[in-house]
Structure 1
């Protein structure tokens, strides 16, 4: 958790929960040079169970004002553009993060350190049931360091952190309210939370709602190349994407008991969504998730362990795909995950932690168009991390994880799944890293890891139509473990408000499992049909190949002007990922091209202004049956004003996006040729903390 000095513009810390004080002081610090804005290194809960603020792993984090001004309709779009991070899209409401070109089951999506089960990794039209309005902090861990969370975190970890289980004592009552309107889809969004306590017992209540219309676009929904393939008789939507509207709403309650050396608490949150599939005008997806969590931490223990941390979550998830008013398929996923971390006393020079993680979930797809059999996945894992501060300038780390994965399918009377084999996998991973401080400002950081990932139920057993994506998916029941060697190397610079990082990464896979289009059009029974046939589906298969990923990540912030209450920062972010099938030399699908962002961030007392220019180059390296995407350049502007009414802090903001009204098609989107990103938009918002 980040800590902040009390300021004259923030309410007394004793009257507010520390996270609320953090938000208020962050907003004030971002807007006023009169307040001490010396950066305080954050402690990344996700990246390091030892609580160190000096990290060997490549990480990014969003919280406070920065998170507020990036919030979008999906968690993927909220994080899109951070170093190495892109997003899947399936209309404005659906987006799951992609890290270094890897998506699906290679990215671990966590809530407060443990899984909240859904179906988002199965298919690109399945949304992550979480709204950024309910999140206080997001941590992203890229590369080898993520292996502590399992083989299916080989690409990285995205951990959203909230305070639904208060971790520190609260005295009195505090709260936050956020409301906004606008954007290319006329989004109406709002959230509120209240927290209180008597110094021992604490409670948290929050609620959020988001309602959107069909997304406005600058031209045709279908790309030039797609329209040429469609032929003259296909209707061509223009100006808006049909069936791209939706609504999210939900809320949570939580409580905890706190004491000087720890806390223990429970929470419940519910989530509902109803949104359209942009690939099928008549298909709606209705989603519901119930999530129960428990967490505890005990510090300053006697004996071999100084700290114990426990996290548990049970999730019951369901969504229905409704085609022209009839439910075609019902997806269900329910199960639990528990994680215990224990930090031990120093063993010689070693400072470390060990842990155990247990999980079990059952996934089913029920109906005439069942895509996968009912499958129960059980996972048991041991993991550990050790650090050695060799000198003041050199720190070494090593981490390891061993897990057993069991996948047990049941046909449920569906003949096409009869005989699906039960599979067991033992997967081991190990990583090592080093951080060397060249001087007080510069450091060199390197990591290397060997990782194994067991295939998922859908990579093994898929065999059915999926109308929402317009595909017929076929799995590989004989698929073997995915194995990879990964490494990254970066230079880092930090001197007051000036920061920079330049890094390279490389990953080499054996048996990289991914989805390939076969080029065939088929019906619901996987029988070939001619082009133009109603309800024709693109056949896609999961196939293991040798693959490699490599790329570059750059980011930096430089304060070019500071005088009195004024400051001006220049920010730069760029990334590039190259991914190929080593067996054929062909590009892997849905890889973002070279991207660069240049921003100017200005503050004068309570006023702030940010201008952001984003350019993405064309992506012509695509598989044989995919279409390339063109380049685009977008301009964004954010204006902010902070003020106080009594003891309440306020932030008003105006955000303009894609002001040049460019046609934007993400190479990472499976529907890029039929559903581009939104056109010119303006959003107005107001946030308050009391």
Structure 2
């Protein structure tokens, strides 16, 4: 990795990224503008059709996928963007958020989170610390993401055991895959919202048909979140006597972040090769502790290349590689208390073989090595390293109306602890997970299809599950790992019925996943202090393996209900998940309740509007020592107007939580001290050329 002086972190680099973006701006007036009275979208170089490569390496679209997948891109993604990845995606059926205040949240898919949901950037894993603790933010900002693929259900064949819940792949095109002979770009600014956000982003691509350059930069600043009522819930106050303070404001939730990237690629006819460097900086309040802030910096180098049309035996080869240098410091009253570092390299090599009759498929190799350490007062994880090697194969066989898919994956995972002090002697654990899946898509009629998936998934325990030993203040627990954990094993079935005709579509699905030895934190019933001595205010929690079942339903639909003076569409969505410890029959913690929603989308020439209503039911099926959560109805309204211009220019306004409901997500550790924002309005302007 190239050395970067401390003086360049982060302000100097931010200025560099902005300077490069501004340097391209004179080209705006000369670049492929379209007529002012043209109401179409920008040129196809800006609006590439999304390809759900995350769910299928053969590159078919979502209608032909055997695995359930949702794709957010283009204008839809722009209007869905929030400050965190979890909040951006929570409108997708089956997806919730781990909401740790407005600055940190990971997606929760079908009740599974942390090390069971794999978060990737351009098909390569993000080596941050967000899976370790819910107060650690994901090291990427949705402002510069061009497309997000969400794969629900087992995706272990391509991405490993950490994808048993699902996969989230954020695609930013920082390494351009297609050559362009022009200058293109987009920009966006936002003001308002419950956190008084001020944010902006600019993305520029320029090329001469062979060499393509990319630059992007973004910045976001927010104040403490406005909330409807008290931060502490009435239920918690009545349960343990916690005072109901901080009325109308979520203290220590302000944040500021910035970052950017430079990238370049060379197109050589039957492929490309490129390199990019990106930097992400964030400083935010942790909410759980009013005097603690997190200062985060993640630097990443990416390399990607593809060679196509190589021959009949091997048709194409893709190579992806990312080196990450991640660090965040937890600062209490201005002094650094704990430092977390994660450095590593991940590589993926994938070869598509020539067709064997109608059979097509890929063979892949994935390698990952990372080194993690925590230093300071709240270091509850020893210094450790994780290395993995995996080989996988994925095949598809179309047979008239039936398409079959089959695959398998073999891994070797080494998780080593350096030990020392309270962590005891050094420990080395080796695991050999094996996974397999079989799927089928049957076209019943031109408009109806039926999909089914069977899978066996194995996941190696993570370093924190094996070796944790100490106070985890963010979750108010004293966590005790288990170095004797076995590979986590599960079997799953997933079915979907799909219908699509013209502008109307509908899908409904069910899933059932049975774990023989689910890894979970178990409340021992003891209250201890930060040294593990009985008598403190931390809940002692041990890592155990228990048999468990996750099952549920998902559905969504879109229907054109009116065409005339404008077009009106009706949208429907809903999901439900139920998770149970099979040993005790008790519920597992932080499982989202039944959610049902509907919306209306109206479009008339340059004007558009969207009404979205979501009702989350009360969640009173709770784990031991977990409080129930009241239901709520969330109503949001979005209005857009396409401004007449020689460029694509659109103004928008988003009204959140119009009923000013007290919204608490049951999937959040902080649900009883950190509600969602109150009624607010955000305005923005986005453009492209």
TM-score normalised over the length of structure 1:
0.93
Structure 1 residue 612, shift from structure 2 partner: 0.8
Aligned-partner SS, 1:620: coil
1:449 aligns with 2:475: no
Which of 85, 101, 110 is matched with 1:91 structurally?
Answer: 101
Which of 482, 488, 502 is matched with 2:488 structurally?
Answer: 482
Counterpart for residue 632 of structure 1 = 632
Matches within 5 A, 1:55-204: 55-204=65-214
Structure 2 CA distance, aligned partners of 1:52 and 1:175? 27
- Mean CA deviation greater in 497-506 or 140-149: 140-149
Aligned-partner SS, 1:345: strand
Structure 1 residue 12, shift from structure 2 partner: 7.7
1:396 aligns with 2:397: no
Counterpart for residue 7 of structure 2 = none
Matches within 5 A, 1:454-473: 454-473=460-479
Change in 2 beyond 3 A, CA 1:623/1:222: same
Structure 1 residue 518, shift from structure 2 partner: 3.1
Change in 2 beyond 3 A, CA 1:193/1:100: same
Matches within 5 A, 1:416-455: 416-455=422-461
1:415 aligns with 2:425: no
Deviations 1:423-461 (A, max 9, x none): 000000000000000100000000000000000000000
Change in 2 beyond 3 A, CA 1:519/1:189: farther
Counterpart for residue 20 of structure 1 = 46
Structure 1 CA distance, aligned partners of 2:658 and 2:524? 39
Aligned-partner SS, 1:489: strand
1:620 aligns with 2:626: no
**Contact conserved, 2:39 with 2:606, CA < 8 A, in 1?**
no
**Contact conserved, 2:339 with 2:375, CA < 8 A, in 1?**
yes
Aligned-partner SS, 2:474: coil
Deviations 1:583-612 (A, max 9, x none): 001100110000011000000011001111
Structure 1 residue 310, shift from structure 2 partner: 0.7
Counterpart for residue 52 of structure 1 = 60
Deviations 1:460-485 (A, max 9, x none): 00001123333221111111110000
Aligned-partner SS, 2:544: strand
Which of 506, 521, 536 is matched with 2:527 structurally?
Answer: 521
Counterpart for residue 3 of structure 1 = none
Aligned-partner SS, 1:92: coil
**Contact conserved, 1:185 with 1:216, CA < 8 A, in 2?**
yes
1:538 aligns with 2:539: yes
Structure 2 CA distance, aligned partners of 1:679 and 1:513? 36
Aligned-partner SS, 1:346: strand
- Mean CA deviation greater in 520-529 or 619-628: 520-529
**Contact conserved, 2:156 with 2:409, CA < 8 A, in 1?**
no
- Mean CA deviation greater in 466-475 or 182-191: 466-475
Structure 2 CA distance, aligned partners of 1:659 and 1:437? 42
Structure 1 residue 246, shift from structure 2 partner: 0.8
Structure 1 residue 521, shift from structure 2 partner: 2.4
Structure 1 CA distance, aligned partners of 2:197 and 2:357? 56
Change in 2 beyond 3 A, CA 1:460/1:300: same
Counterpart for residue 657 of structure 1 = 656
Structure 1 residue 147, shift from structure 2 partner: 3.3
Structure 2 CA distance, aligned partners of 1:131 and 1:443? 36
Change in 2 beyond 3 A, CA 1:559/1:89: same
Structure 1 CA distance, aligned partners of 2:251 and 2:45? 40
Change in 2 beyond 3 A, CA 1:442/1:235: closer
Change in 2 beyond 3 A, CA 1:230/1:324: farther
**Contact conserved, 2:231 with 2:244, CA < 8 A, in 1?**
no
**Contact conserved, 2:192 with 2:681, CA < 8 A, in 1?**
yes
1:583 aligns with 2:583: yes
**Contact conserved, 1:518 with 1:625, CA < 8 A, in 2?**
no
Structure 1 residue 139, shift from structure 2 partner: 0.1
Aligned-partner SS, 1:147: helix
Structure 1 CA distance, aligned partners of 2:345 and 2:268? 27
Deviations 1:324-350 (A, max 9, x none): 222221110000100011111011331
Structure 1 CA distance, aligned partners of 2:157 and 2:291? 41
Structure 1 residue 11, shift from structure 2 partner: 7.8
Deviations 1:232-277 (A, max 9, x none): 7x46221111111111110000000013221100000001111111
**Contact conserved, 1:443 with 1:493, CA < 8 A, in 2?**
yes
Structure 1 residue 421, shift from structure 2 partner: 2.0
Which of 263, 267, 271 is matched with 2:280 structurally?
Answer: 271
Aligned-partner SS, 1:458: helix
Deviations 1:474-510 (A, max 9, x none): 1111111100001111100111211110000000001
**Contact conserved, 2:114 with 2:131, CA < 8 A, in 1?**
yes
Counterpart for residue 31 of structure 1 = none
**Contact conserved, 1:96 with 1:128, CA < 8 A, in 2?**
yes
- Mean CA deviation greater in 418-427 or 584-593: 418-427
Matches within 5 A, 1:570-609: 570-609=570-609
Structure 1 residue 209, shift from structure 2 partner: 0.8
- Mean CA deviation greater in 221-230 or 566-575: 221-230
Structure 1 CA distance, aligned partners of 2:460 and 2:42? 50
Change in 2 beyond 3 A, CA 1:520/1:326: farther
Deviations 1:370-407 (A, max 9, x none): 1111111000000111000111x110000111100001
Structure 1 residue 116, shift from structure 2 partner: 2.0
Counterpart for residue 301 of structure 1 = 310
Structure 1 residue 520, shift from structure 2 partner: 2.8
Deviations 1:151-176 (A, max 9, x none): 11000000000110011011121111
Aligned length: 652
Deviations 1:29-87 (A, max 9, x none): xxxxxxxxxxx8x5311011111221011000100111111111100000002011001
Change in 2 beyond 3 A, CA 1:235/1:323: farther
1:556 aligns with 2:562: no
Structure 2 CA distance, aligned partners of 1:613 and 1:124? 27
Structure 2 CA distance, aligned partners of 1:215 and 1:190? 19
Deviations 1:349-381 (A, max 9, x none): 311111100000011111133111111100000
Counterpart for residue 36 of structure 1 = none
Structure 2: runs of 5 or more not aligned: 1-33
TM-score normalised over the length of structure 2:
0.93
Structure 1 CA distance, aligned partners of 2:476 and 2:196? 27
Counterpart for residue 29 of structure 1 = none
RMSD: 1.5
**Contact conserved, 2:85 with 2:142, CA < 8 A, in 1?**
yes
**Contact conserved, 2:230 with 2:244, CA < 8 A, in 1?**
no
Change in 2 beyond 3 A, CA 1:631/1:299: same
Aligned-partner SS, 2:96: strand
Structure 1 residue 529, shift from structure 2 partner: 1.6
Structure 2 CA distance, aligned partners of 1:472 and 1:683? 40
**Contact conserved, 1:147 with 1:154, CA < 8 A, in 2?**
no
Structure 1 CA distance, aligned partners of 2:290 and 2:656? 27
Structure 2 CA distance, aligned partners of 1:635 and 1:671? 22
Matches within 5 A, 1:365-404: 365-391=374-400, 393-404=401-412
Aligned-partner SS, 2:644: strand
